[in-house]
DNA sequence: GTATTTGCAAATGATTTGCAGTGCT
DNA sequence: AGCACTGCAAATCATTTGCAAATAC
C-alpha cells in the first residue's frame, strides 16, 4: 500500500486511484490550483472529470488531508497537510515556496494574542514578494 | 471634501458617490465581502449595480486604497489600507478582528527570510480560531 | 467639453449538483 | 446485495465585459 493510500484510509477515505493521483500531484508540486491538478491528473487518468477533482478536494480538505492556501488576487492553491510553515508567494511568477517556522515564531504569535480570549486553531502566514529567479529577470 | 474623497483623489481616482460609499462601508465594517458591500451600499444608493461594485473594488485594490484579505474556505473580504496588522478569523461566525503587530514581529519575519534572496513587499497573517463571543456560545 | 464612470444586460467562467452506472467489500 | 465513488451533463453562482447614457472635474 502506498503512503497516499495509507494517508487516505487513516482519515476514513477510500483509496481510489483518483484520490491518490490528486495527492501525488499536490505532493510533487507543493502548491497547486484545482485547474492545474486537473491538467496533471488527466495525463495519467484521462477519463477523470473535473467534478471528481472538486468533490475530492472538498472532502480531503474537510478531513484535513489537504490544506487550502488562499492567496490574495489569485485562485487558492492546495498542499498536503504538514507541519507549520510560512509561504513565500512570488507576485511575478505565482510560485509558492515553503519556509519552516523558527522557534521564536510561536512566541510571537503567543505574544500577539495572549491578552485576547481568542482560541487559535490554525495559523496561515503569506509573505508576498519577488523570488530570486524573478528578481534576476527584472534587474 | 470628505476624507474618502481626499483618499480617492490622492490616488488618482475620481471621487464618485459610489466609490465613497464603498469606502465608507468598508471602513465601518472593518472587513467585508463584495456581496455585503453591495447589500450595504444599495441602502443609500438604491440604483448602484453590482458590476460597479466589482469594477471599483478591482480599481481600488490596484491603487492600494483597499486591500484584499483572502480567507481559507471563504470569499475574500476587503479592508481599507492601513498599517501592518494581523487578522484573527473566527471560524464560527466568520468575523475578522484586527490585531496590531508588535515590535518583535518584524524581527521574526526578517529572521525567517534573511537567508533567502526573497524581496518581501507585503505580509499577510491570518490566525484562525474561535472568538470570545463564539466560545461562550459553544461552552 | 471631454474623458471617465455608471448601470444594464449579456457573456463568460468557476463550482456544484443530480443521477445513472461502476466498482468495491 | 449494498454503499461509496465516479463521470457526465445540466444547473447554479460569481465575476467580467460591452456599450449607451450620465457624471466629475
Question: Domain containing A5 — which CATH number?
Answer: 1.10.10.10
- Residue A78: how many CB atoms within 10 A of its CB? 23
Interface of chain A toward chain B, CB-CB under 8 angstroms: 61, 67-73, 76, 86, 88, 90-91, 97, 99, 101-102, 104-105, 107-109, 111-113, 116-132, 135
Residue with cell 488618482: B12
Residue A14: pLDDT over 80: yes
Q: How many CA atoms lie within 13 A of A4 on its CB side?
A: 17
Instruction: Tell whether B89 and B119 lie within a shared domain.
Output: yes
For chain D, which bases have at least one atom within 7 A of a protein Cβ? 4-10, 14-18, 23-25
Domains in chain B, number: 2
CA B1 to chain A, closest CA, distance in angstroms equals 31
Question: Given phi > 0 = left and psi -120 to 50 = alpha, else beta, which region is A73?
Answer: left
| Closest chain B C-alpha to A51 CA, distance in angstroms | 18
Look at A35-39, B75-79, B84-88 and tell me which has the smallest mean pLDDT. Answer: B84-88
For residue B139, pLDDT over 60 is answered with: no
Confidence (pTM): 0.94
Q: How confident is the model at residue A100 (pLDDT cuts 50, 70, 90)?
A: confident
Q: What is the CATH number of the domain that holds B104?
A: 3.30.1490.190
Q: Within 13 Å, how many C-alpha atoms sit on residue A115's CB side?
A: 4
Model confidence pLDDT, tens digit, residues A32-78: 999 999 999 999 999 999 999 999 999 999 999 999 999 999 999 99
Helices and strands per DSSP (H, E), number in chain A? 6, 5
pLDDT at residue B36 is higher than 90: yes
Tabulate helix, strand, coil % of chain B (nearest 5).
45, 25, 30
By residue range, what is the domain housing residue A139? 83-139
Give the E-state strand segments of A21-118 in sequence order.
Answer: 66-69, 77-80, 85-90, 96-100
**How far is the C-alpha of B110 from the C-alpha of B106, rounded, in Å?**
6
Q: Which of B87, B101, B77 is nearest to B131 (CA)?
A: B87
Amino acid at each position: 500500500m502506498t503512503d497516499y493510500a495509507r494517508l487516505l484510509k487513516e482519515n476514513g477515505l477510500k483509496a481510489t486511484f483518483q484520490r491518490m493521483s490528486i495527492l501525488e500531484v499536490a505532493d510533487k508540486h507543493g502548491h497547486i490550483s484545482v485547474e492545474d491538478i486537473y491538467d496533471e491528473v488527466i495525463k495519467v487518468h484521462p477519463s477523470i472529470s473535473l467534478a471528481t477533482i472538486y468533490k475530492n478536494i472538498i472532502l480531503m480538505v474537510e478531513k484535513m488531508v489537504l490544506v487550502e492556501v488562499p492567496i490574495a488576487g489569485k485562485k487558492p492553491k492546495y498542499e498536503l497537510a504538514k507541519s507549520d510553515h510560512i509561504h513565500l508567494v512570488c507576485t511575478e511568477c505565482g510560485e509558492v515556496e515553503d519556509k519552516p517556522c523558527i522557534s521564536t515564531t510561536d512566541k510571537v504569535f503567543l505574544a500577539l494574542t495572549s491578552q485576547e480570549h481568542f482560541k487559535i486553531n490554525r495559523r496561515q502566514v503569506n509573505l508576498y514578494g519577488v523570488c530570486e529567479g524573478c528578481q534576476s529577470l527584472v534587474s
